[in-house]
Amino acid sequence: MADLSQEEWEKQLEADQNAVILDVRTEDEVAEGMIPNAINIDIYKGQGFIYELEELDKTKNYYVYCRSGARSGQACGIMNQLGFKNAYNLVGGFMGWQGEVAYND
């Protein structure tokens, strides 16, 4: 797992053809906006979170974020234990995000 600053995360993501953005926040938090093209799997689902992670392609590079960076750090650790090679945590999370924001209608 790597902790990346907002700038590093965005730069690396832009250059990564094998990237998946993973939002591990709750539905209520996602309703406040999300990083475009992110998929949402709520880390608070417990075992359900792990089941959903197991459905993902482990050969992809995952850019993971939450509200502040704490839960996404935990999610990256879980992903590493499950055999994901590349999980990158967004330091500062969505609160510090300066890029584009998408809203689900």
Q: What pTM did the predictor assign?
A: 0.96
14: phi then psi, degrees, rounded to nearest 5 = -60, -35
Q: Are 57 and 50 in contact (CB under 8 A)?
A: no
Coil vs helix vs strand at 33:
coil
Q: What is the pLDDT of residue 105?
A: 60
Would you give per-residue pLDDT tens digits along the chain (105 residues)?
789 999 999 999 999 999 999 999 999 999 999 999 999 999 999 999 999 999 999 999 999 999 999 999 999 999 999 999 999 999 999 999 988 999 976
Does residue 23 contact residue 34 with C-beta atoms inside 8 Å? yes
In order of start, what are the domains of the chain with their CATH numbers?
2-96 (3.40.250.10)
**Which positions are catalytic?**
66
């949402």: which residue's tokens? Answer: 40
